[in-house]
Amino acid sequence: MLVIADNLSVRNAAYREAMNKKDRKSLEGLARELAKKGAETIALQCSSDGAGDESNLPFVTETVQEAAGLPLCLDSRSIKALRKAVPLCKEPPIINYVSVVEV
């Protein structure tokens, strides 16, 4: 069994606000709390359609990776965002979504 925390998505208002404000401290706190509560992997989503992911996903990836130290699952329709975020992961991430349509 693998426990993937799905709390860092656009459905979470606190996360969405921290991401939009580029509030590292709040994002780090959310990531640490997920690790403390038993997450083995943290899923990251910055949009529902890929818009803004090219800047947001790398920022969130780097911040959460450093704070939690856990493997990540990246969810984005933007291949450009994924290309920027993957190298920031300490180990190969799970890629949850890739679209054949470039965003």
60-76 pLDDT, tens digit per residue, is 999 999 999 999 999 99
52-64 pLDDT, tens digit per residue, is 999 999 999 999 9
85-101 pLDDT, tens digit per residue, is 999 999 999 998 766 65
CB 46 within 8 A of CB 11: no
Distance CA 41, CA 89 (A): 12
